[in-house]
Amino acid sequence: MSVAALTDVEVDYPRGRALGPFSLAIEAGEIIALVGPSGCGKSTAMRLLAGLESPSRGQVTRAPGRGQTAVVFQAPTLAPWLSARANAALPLELAGVGQVEAAARADQALERVGLAGVEAARPAQLSGGMAMRVSLARALITDPKLLLLDEPFAALDEITRRALADDVLALWPDARPAIVFVTHNVEEAVYMASRVVVMTRGPGRIAGEVAVNGPLPRPEGFRTTAQFRAHVEAISGLLAKGMSA
Amino acid sequence: MSRLAQTLAPFVLIAMLLAAWETACRVLAVPTYFLPPPSAVAVSLISDWRVLLQSAWSTLSMALIALVTASIIAQCLALAVGLSPVLERAIRPLAVVLQVTPVVAIAPLVVIWAGLDHAERAIVALAALVAFFPIFSGAVTGLKAVDPDLERLFDLYGANRLQRLLRLRLPSAVPYLLEGHKVAAGLALIGAVVAEFVAGSGGAQGLAWRILEASHRMQTANMFAAVVILGLMGAMLNSLLQALEHAGLRWWRGR
């Protein structure tokens, strides 16, 4: 069953076409990595899926109801004047959930992302990785069917980046939301995704797809397997093809 | 440079300038009405301290009333403008014209409207007018200075207009409001003094009135004394608001 789909969508901006024609159907519980060169329209595709933008042509099918789709942006995007708890609770409070219940659920969500004990801290008091986790807790608090991650680890150092990727994969089996994430990093895409969709340079179309088999979360040593290397090679090849397309 | 030297540096410079001034006045035998030596100013400060403090309080209280008035009006208007882009387009040119018109140019008008017997009303009105703009433009800017991704997040979760205003735009504006009030407080004091000069005495006998009175009597040392008090008051008000802004930002960001 698909939770969201883009069907032959095209997005035109005044300066030219940004995306398409582009189609992508997202099945329940799958993890898709969107990989492509800068400016190929990955973020535009994400905004279409989030319902934050409408296509010029084509059709967008989304999970109905608010809280069904959640987004984690490139930056943590936290309100500086709110505590970690209040930031995580924001989607619930906007939906009219009472403050006490929202706070309790926010504390649980923060605990799930490994942030027990910093509920009262403000974003300015958190490290970049911790702030990103608050952002993740906020996205997960409504138990979304579709989680969109728009280059969520781009601003982090390599160690924090890998730790966070592992955490996302460790959290995923709880509710098994479908995840679409944008990345520039081919190895990260293979490590995290069950399906890697490679886009051409802008306006982005699909250059090819690579299915990554194997268990999720990944077993230790997955990055050193021949299968992993082969996938990375295949995707790099598709990217090169997409650049010249 | 050690901390002690850093702290003392401005005082040492002031002391040196005062000493040079005092010496020059004595050696060159400068007439007191033309330039009184610092010692004469000090004598004036000591002998008239009661009157000077009363005048200082008169000026300061009017500046503060003006600041509060300006703050309320500016924030209400900014909120209305923030909620309606049409209103903003309508008001902006008017606001700019009012802002670039020097306060002394409109002062005589305001004095007539306030009633010639009510100089204090004119003073408060004029000081409030000067204090209005930094708060108004700070609030208008602040209400728009929302993190675009945070705005998208509110879109995503279907926030209504009221939620957006109370939970996003107003809190985002806080740093801009603090900055606006800091600037406005200094301007309110300047506005009050300028207005006192133009509006004349009436019932109010602020520091500007002291300066004018001393000037008519050629009591130059008294003029200096009033100017010294005015300077000290301005500096105190400035550091108070700086501290308030700092504390406000700490509260807003949590550190």
Tell me whether residues A125 and B155 touch, CB distance under 8 A: no
**B247 in any annotated domain:** yes
Q: How far is B144 from chain A (nearest CA, A)?
A: 15
Contact status of B158 with chain A (Cβ, < 8 Å): yes
Q: How far is B149 from chain A (nearest CA, A)?
A: 6
Q: How far apart are CA B155 and CA A48, in angstroms?
A: 13
For B75, the token pair is 């924030």
**B7 in any annotated domain:** no
pLDDT single digits (tens) B41-82: 999 999 999 999 999 999 999 999 999 999 999 999 999 988
pLDDT single digits (tens) A73-97: 988 999 999 999 999 999 999 998 9
Q: What does the pLDDT read at residue B202? A: 57
Give the CA dihedral A193, A196, A197, A198, nearest 10 degrees. 130
**Rounded average pLDDT over B23-30:** 93
> What's the whole-number average pLDDT of chain B?
90
Q: What does the pLDDT read at residue B204? A: 59
Domain ranges of chain A: 2-63+145-244, 78-143
pLDDT single digits (tens) B105-156: 888 888 888 887 888 888 899 999 999 999 999 999 999 989 999 999 999 9
Q: How far is A169 from chain B (nearest CA, A)?
A: 23
Contact status of B76 with chain A (Cβ, < 8 Å): no
Q: What does the pLDDT read at residue B203? A: 57
Total of domains in chain B = 1
Q: How far is B10 from chain A (nearest CA, A)?
A: 35
Q: What does the pLDDT read at residue B111? A: 85
**B36 in any annotated domain:** no
Chain A nearest-CA residue for B157: A66
pLDDT single digits (tens) A100-149: 999 999 999 999 888 989 999 999 999 988 999 999 999 999 999 999 99
For A37, the token pair is 């060169």
ipTM of the complex: 0.86
Q: Which residue of B146, B147, B151, B153 is the best one to mutate when testing the A interface, meaning the one whose CB has the most A CBs within 10 A?
A: B153
Q: Give contacts of A93 with chain B, Cβ < 8 Å.
A: 167
- B221: domain CATH number? 1.10.3720.10
Q: How far apart are CA B221 and CA B23, in angstroms?
A: 16
Contact status of B155 with chain A (Cβ, < 8 Å): yes
Residue range A2-63+145-244 forms a domain whose CATH class is alpha beta
